[in-house]
């Protein structure tokens, strides 16, 4: 039984066959990524058109291309409110998706994401420390404009909190084999950070408390053009790190020992990835609040659609898909008639939670199953 195919291998038909297979799996990935690009453009335009007031799509396009020179109210609305909001959603979705992907690969754990590993909680703690304790000097990053210095302080605290969380969890994870234990460590860190936040919240005045609660709902509306000069470059740095390390992430698919035996400097890669994920998770948490489930769900959606764990396709797909899902969630949360009633976080949870459930149910077929 075994001899026959082995002999056949040496005939010329087999290599051609393998080449065809190779090509077809790559072409599926190209098609999926192209479709995602189109979908992203469509959702982006829709997000500019749909909100409390409907602006026809041709007018949206006219504003974007600069054809519309008259300063109509719709023009101002799109330029000053909707465009930065949609860009924020796009970048935040991409950032959370990439941070989730990096965590899943680094921890070899399908359920890892900025949330589960305590990154979001760490970032929240950083934000809370600055936001709730520093009086009038620094205000909520998206409540009013107190200049870039205040934003920078909150952002730095958030990134520092995220970095603290990820180093603690990764440090401990080197001592435990079981991936589930690592997630529990992350959750425990999250609870501890949350406890500190609760203490801070308890001692604060109602005005700040209200803003804190609103921040907790999550929102892409807080980043106006002024803040964008801080938000966008930081997110792009984080995304850039992931885009430049796809081959290293691929090597990590087989675990750190194999990666190291194939020539990867594992320690350096770990620090770089942790730094990237901290920046992405921290920045988004600072500017948009703790947004749940995007980090864990988006990489899984992409693996399912692409049919591969190869980061050379997975990283661009995750960036595109992150934008698509975040913009969709934003459209839903801002549908006419429910603004304020349907917080962003509720929408992302409703989208993300089923994905996580599906991953759990099909665990045997997903990535990194033990």
Q: Which residues contact other proteins (rule: CB under 8 A)?
A: 5-6, 8-9, 14-15, 18, 21-22, 25, 244, 246-247, 250-251, 253-255, 257-258, 260-265, 303, 306-310, 312, 364-370
Nearer to other proteins, 54 or 258 (CB): 258
Nearer to other proteins, 22 or 184 (CB): 22
Burial 84-107 (b: 16+ CB within 10 A, else e): bbbbbbbbbbbbbbbbbbbbbbbb
Residue 166 Cβ vs other proteins, minimum distance, rounded to whole Å? 23
Nearer to other proteins, 3 or 136 (CB): 3
Query: DSSP letters of 234-257?
Result: HHHHHHHHHHHTHHHHHHHTT-HH
Residue 261 Cβ vs other proteins, minimum distance, rounded to whole Å? 4
Q: Are 58 and 279 in contact (CB under 8 A)?
A: no
Residue 201 Cβ vs other proteins, minimum distance, rounded to whole Å? 41
Residue 326 Cβ vs other proteins, minimum distance, rounded to whole Å? 23
Residue 84 and residue 82: Cα distance in Å, rounded? 6
Nearer to other proteins, 29 or 68 (CB): 29
Query: In this structure, how many other beta carbons lie within 10 angstroms of the beta carbon of residue 336?
Result: 10
Nearer to other proteins, 16 or 149 (CB): 16
Residue 314 Cβ vs other proteins, minimum distance, rounded to whole Å? 9
Nearest to 127 by CA among 93, 159, 166: 159
Residue 349 Cβ vs other proteins, minimum distance, rounded to whole Å? 25
Residue 342 and residue 354: Cα distance in Å, rounded? 18
- Dihedral pair phi/psi, residue 205, rounded to 5°: -85, 160
Q: Are 289 and 345 in contact (CB under 8 A)?
A: yes
Q: Is 3 exposed, middle or buried (0-12, 13-18, 19+ CB in 10 A)?
A: exposed
Nearer to other proteins, 43 or 98 (CB): 98
């Amino acid at each position: 039984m075994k001899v026959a195919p082995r002999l056949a291998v040496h005939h010329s038909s087999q290599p051609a066959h393998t080449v065809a297979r190779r090509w077809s799996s790559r072409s599926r990935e190209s098609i999926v990524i192209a479709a995602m690009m189109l979908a992203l453009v469509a959702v982006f335009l829709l997000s500019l058109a749909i909100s409390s007031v409907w602006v026809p799509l041709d007018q949206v396009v006219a504003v974007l291309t600069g054809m519309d020179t008259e300063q109509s109210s719709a023009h101002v609305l799109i330029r000053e409110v909707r465009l930065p909001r949609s860009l924020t959603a796009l970048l935040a979705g991409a950032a959370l998706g990439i941070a989730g992907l990096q965590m899943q690969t680094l921890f070899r754990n399908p359920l890892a994401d900025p949330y589960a590993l305590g990154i979001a909680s760490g970032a929240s703690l950083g934000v809370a420390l600055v936001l709730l304790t520093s009086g009038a000097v620094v205000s909520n990053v998206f409540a009013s404009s107190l200049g870039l210095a205040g934003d920078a302080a909150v952002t730095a605290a958030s990134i520092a909190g995220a970095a603290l969380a990820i180093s603690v969890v990764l440090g401990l994870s080197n001592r435990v084999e079981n991936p589930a234990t690592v997630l529990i460590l992350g959750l425990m860190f999250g609870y501890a950070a949350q406890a500190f936040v609760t203490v801070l919240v308890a001692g604060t005045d109602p005005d700040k408390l209200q803003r804190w609660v609103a921040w907790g709902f999550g929102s892409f509306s807080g980043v106006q053009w002024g803040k964008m000069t801080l938000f966008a470059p930081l997110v792009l740095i984080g995304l850039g790190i992931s885009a430049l390390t796809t081959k290293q992430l691929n090597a990590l698919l087989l675990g750190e020992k194999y990666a190291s035996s194939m020539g990867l400097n594992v320690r350096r890669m770990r620090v770089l990835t942790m730094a990237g994920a901290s920046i992405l998770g921290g920045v988004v948490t600072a500017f948009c609040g703790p947004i749940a489930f995007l980090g864990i769900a988006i990489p899984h959606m992409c693996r399912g659609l692409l049919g591969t764990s190869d980061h050379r396709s997975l990283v661009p797909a995750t960036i595109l898909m992150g934008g698509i899902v975040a913009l969709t969630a934003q459209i839903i949360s801002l549908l006419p008639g429910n603004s304020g009633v349907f917080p962003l976080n509720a929408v992302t949870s409703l989208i993300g939670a089923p994905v996580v459930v599906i991953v759990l149910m099909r665990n045997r077929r997903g990535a990194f199953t033990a």
